[in-house]
Amino acid sequence: MLTIAYIGNGKSTNRYHLPFVLTRETFRVKTIYSRADTSPWPAIEGVTYVQDIEAIWDDPEIQLVVVCTPSDSHVPYARAALEHGKHVLVEKPFAATAREARELFALAADRGLFLQCYQNRRFDSDFLTVQRVIENGVLGDLLEVEMHYDYFRPEVPTRLVPTFSADHSYLFGHGVHTVDQVLSYFGSPHEVRYDVRQLLGPGRMNDYFDLDLHFGSLKVSVKSSYFRVKGRPSFVVYGTKGMFVKETKDRQEEHLKVFYLPEQPGFGIDLAEHYGTVTYYGDDGAYHEEKVTSQVGDYGRIYDGAYDTIVNGAPKIVPDTQTIELIGILEAGLGPMIEREAQR
């Protein structure tokens, strides 16, 4: 078993990590650190809760440290964990800049330690289903993929007044999910075109983005907004022979928010009403329209991969180069906005 300590005792640790780790026999959660004993989350039997970070650094039993704190502290905590000889898994966004990401990976390599970003959304049901449809070949050659991650939450950009910050940008906050999915499946784009906005005006939060990533004749569009009363389909895929539409997103987060957990039956599983629809012309020229049973998502597969890399030497699920490229793409998208804000 790998012995784990968590830095942070908030929503990230308790909602998106522990429910999956605690169902796996390959891990033992020993310690959870937070600066103050004020977490509303119930304590877990057998886990030690500490307010002194040295309790983690000085414990030789702890092999893997998971950083689940606000994004501006990811790099300092990850660096400290590596310097104390611990393997590290870091929540998204991994770092604020590609330079910082490169420096952390260089430190990990120098110490012979595992370091990876927690890109759990690679194991979203809708994303896995899209891959299955593409690989079935019924769509023909791919022409265009549209990925949407929409909310109607005007109170969020309205509340963050009047200061713009990269830390609270929608591009960094949610692009870390969707752009990473693109890189993980399609590889490196040869061109990225950006439309990154502040819909409420200068000085306000970045609350919209539309990125076009080009791969030869294929264009993958990643679009998100805080002002969509009705969200766009999660995925729309177009090919030379047909198309696939998946209206609804992966349901793991939906279930976790109501404390329906991975060990419970039906967790994260799509019902028939959530299935996507593939429409295509077959090789015989016949028209087909079919429902596609969704693949099963599992955020915990990131932990399975971390275990396999640390214990068995398997390649990382998330290569260092993809994390660096992801941060670089997000940096480039926010760059012009940061410059405009600095000149105001």
Q: Which of 78, 99, 118 is the last residue of a domain?
A: 118
Query: For the segment 208-259, what is each residue's pLDDT rounded down to a tens digit?
Result: 999 999 999 999 999 999 999 999 999 999 999 999 999 999 999 999 999 9
Burial 302-329 (b: 16+ CB within 10 A, else e): bbbbbbebbeeeeebbbebebbbbbbbb
Q: How would you class 296 by CB atoms within 10 Å of its CB: exposed for 0-12, middle for 13-18, buried for 19 or more?
A: middle
**CA-to-CA separations, 294 to 50, 221, 291, in angstroms, rounded:** 41, 22, 9
Percent of the chain at pLDDT exceeding 70: 99
Name the residue type at position 175. Answer: G
- Higher per-residue pLDDT: 161 or 78: 78
Q: Is residue 320 part of a domain?
A: no
Q: Is residue 303 part of a domain?
A: no
- Higher per-residue pLDDT: 166 or 260: 260
Confidence of residue 164 (pLDDT cuts 50, 70, 90): confident
Considering its fold, how many domains does the chain have in total? Answer: 2
pLDDT at residue number 262? 95
Q: Is residue 149 part of a domain?
A: yes
pLDDT at residue number 36? 85
What is the Cα–Cα distance from 60 to 263, expressed in whole angstroms?
Answer: 31
**CA-to-CA separations, 83 to 112, 195, 225, 251, 290, in angstroms, rounded:** 11, 39, 39, 38, 54
- Report whether pLDDT(157) > 70: yes
Task: Return the percent helix, strand and coil in the chain, to nearest 5.
Answer: 35, 25, 40
pLDDT at residue number 161? 61
Where is 65: in which H helix or E strand?
strand 64-67
pTM: 0.95
Q: Which of 66, 95, 118 is the last residue of a domain?
A: 118
Q: Which of 118, 142, 168 is the last residue of a domain?
A: 118
Residue 107's closest CA among 129, 78, 65, 148? 78
pLDDT at residue number 163? 72
pLDDT at residue number 165? 81
Q: What is the mean pLDDT of residues 58-84?
A: 97
Least confident stretch, 146-160, 207-221, 284-298, 314-328: 146-160
Q: What is the mean pLDDT of residues 295-316?
A: 98
The answer on 90 and 126 residing in a single domain is no
Q: What is the mean pLDDT of residues 36-53?
A: 92
Q: What is the mean pLDDT of residues 16-33?
A: 97
Residue 208's closest CA among 181, 183, 173? 173
Range of the domain at 288: 121-298
Specify the pairing of strand 218-225 against strand 287-292: unpaired
The answer on 181 and 88 residing in a single domain is no
Mean model confidence pLDDT for the chain: 95
pLDDT at residue number 341? 87
Name the 3-class secondary structure at 88.
strand
- Higher per-residue pLDDT: 165 or 63: 63
Q: How would you class 46 by CB atoms within 10 Å of its CB: exposed for 0-12, middle for 13-18, buried for 19 or more?
A: exposed
CATH of the domain at 37: 3.40.50.720
The answer on 140 and 114 residing in a single domain is no
Percent of the chain at pLDDT exceeding 90: 88
- Report whether pLDDT(83) > 70: yes
**CA-to-CA separations, 336 to 3, 161, 220, in angstroms, rounded:** 43, 20, 22
The answer on 239 and 226 residing in a single domain is yes
The answer on 280 and 173 residing in a single domain is yes
Confidence of residue 280 (pLDDT cuts 50, 70, 90): very high
- Report whether pLDDT(114) > 70: yes
Integer Rg of the chain from CA: 21
The answer on 142 and 291 residing in a single domain is yes
Q: Is residue 275 part of a domain?
A: yes
